[in-house]
Chains A and B, each alone.
Chain A
Amino acid sequence: MHKILVIEDDEVMPKIFQRILHKENYQLDHVVNGKEAIQKLEETNYGYDLIITDIMMPYANGFEILSRVKSRKEGKPIAVIIVSNAGNEDMILEGFKLGADDFLKKPVIPGELLIRVKRLLMQYQ
């Protein structure tokens, strides 16, 4: 079973992720800010297959999480999808420069999210 970490401070979005991704039997963990995300990742020794993160969050933003995950030299690589409503060009480019595997702008199309998640998990298998 694939493990996915959702980092999102919005109340509704994690519920939507949960429902969209439920039928593929993914195990979803949810944290609400960057600080909790870092704690969770360290506690589990980066034991996730995919991270879905927002950009604008308290304590540590999505870019900090992304650069921390992508700059790791040991352990298995983890795919990262940024899902944000901050869709300006600079932010998208910054995300990809830091190693993001995909960028989805809110509001998302559920089917598209599902396909992108599946594709990335297959790539990283």
Chain B
Amino acid sequence: MKTIPAFISATVDQFRYAPLVIQIAVIFTAVAVSMTAIAYISILLNRYRSHRREKKLAALHPLIDELLTEHILMNEELYTDEPVEATVPVGVFDKPIFEKKWARQVLIQRLMQYRDNVQGAMGDQLRSLYIQLGLDKDSLKKLKSSRWDHKIQALGELTNMDIPIADVIILPLTNSRNRELRATARHAYIKLSKNEPFKFFDVATEPLLLWDQVELFRIISTTDRISIPNFAQWITYSSNKSIIAFCLKLVEHYQQLSAVPAVVKLLDTRDHYLRANAINCLGKLRIESVEDKLMSMYDSQPHHCRTEILKAFGRISSGKQVDFLRQEFLHSSDFEIRKHAAKSLINNQWAASSLIQELVDTATRENKLILKHCMNPLIKF
């Protein structure tokens, strides 16, 4: 009967003297089998960990809910929007389980869930509880961790609980090279800094990606009592183009007419994407006084700036550019230009109704189609 060492030695010999193709196939098979085994083991381990976590949570959540219900939700003094001087029930949370780090984290998450759903005196009470249990210290500790996911988690917790963070800690994070951390820090900064929520624009060197802009815009437009600065300062002085583009959108959203001179100056920028954004902003603000400048620069502009100028004439709708729009519609060789000229002509209909009728009557089949398309109020572009 062969012993195990003899079996191994025979197998190694067989492998050593096997043809190269067989050796490669054996190695591939061994690697594939071990990778599959590792994958299965890690899946099993993860499932086991999450099962244990679920079990712990299933035991801890009812306890936290019971304490919060009994001492906060059922306290009728807290049913108001006014601040009240109710005692924070810190003592009832003085249990051995809450000395454990994981349990404190679960408590923080639960308090956040409750704060997401209630405000007023009850929301304030939840915040006081968070502070008096020292959970803010746990969050601040995480904020100083070297792991970016811990920092994001901490920022979420501190924002939810409305705990101010020192500029020296949060401002560098708004410029982090990690995209997710950067976005979360910027959101937190806007939510937490009531006086200068846009101060991070001064230090932002990393770009504001389009998705970040959408998220920031949502936060800015839904955060109560936010102080709105004059965005002209960044439009004029920022070296970060994405910040300027975002400020142009904010100028338009807040109809900030005091920023118009800065936007007009931007028409001379060498960056044609920013120039197009500035034209778009002026058009949406319906600044009639820039029409002559837009008209004079039209011929020297790239295609997308030209379409923005045409759109701006439509939005401003002063009636002064009707002849120019007619000329572009009839004589341009570019379909997009003709389409936008037609749309802007229709937007100037109050001043050009007879001209539009004449164009409809005399236009070629294609032009007539474009005009009809633009006249349909359900079609927007």
Using CB atoms and an 8 Å cutoff, list the residues of chain A in contact with chain B.
Answer: 10-13, 15-16, 19-20, 22-23, 85, 87-88, 106-112, 114
Residue of B nearest to A87 (CB): B222
Stretch in B22-30, B74-82, B131-139, B264-272 with 4+ CB within 8 Å of A:
B74-82
- A residues less than 8 Å from B118 (CB atoms): 16, 107-110
Mask of B69-92 contacts with A, CB within 8 angstroms, 1/0:
100011010111100000000000
Residue of B nearest to A115 (CB): B79
Residue of A nearest to B114 (CB): A12
Closest 10 CB pairs of A and B: A111-B79, A109-B120, A107-B119, A19-B73, A110-B79, A12-B113, A13-B117, A109-B81, A111-B80, A107-B118
- A residues less than 8 Å from B120 (CB atoms): 109-112
Bound-complex Cα distance A88 to B219 (A): 12
CB neighbors of A among B119-174 (8 A): 119-120, 122-123
Bound-complex Cα distance A20 to B73 (A): 7
14 extra A-B contacts, CB within 8 A, seeds A12-B117, A19-B74: A10-B117, A12-B114, A15-B73, A16-B117, A19-B73, A20-B73, A20-B79, A106-B117, A107-B118, A107-B119, A109-B79, A109-B81, A110-B122, A111-B120
Bound-complex Cα distance A96 to B20 (A): 76
Bound-complex Cα distance A10 to B79 (A): 21
Cβ of B73 to closest chain A Cβ, rounded Å: 4
Bound-complex Cα distance A10 to B220 (A): 25
- B residues less than 8 Å from A108 (CB atoms): 117-119
Bound-complex Cα distance A11 to B122 (A): 18
Among candidates A16, A109, A112, residue contacting B114 with C-beta atoms closer than 8 Å: A16
Residue B373, interface by CB 8 Å: no
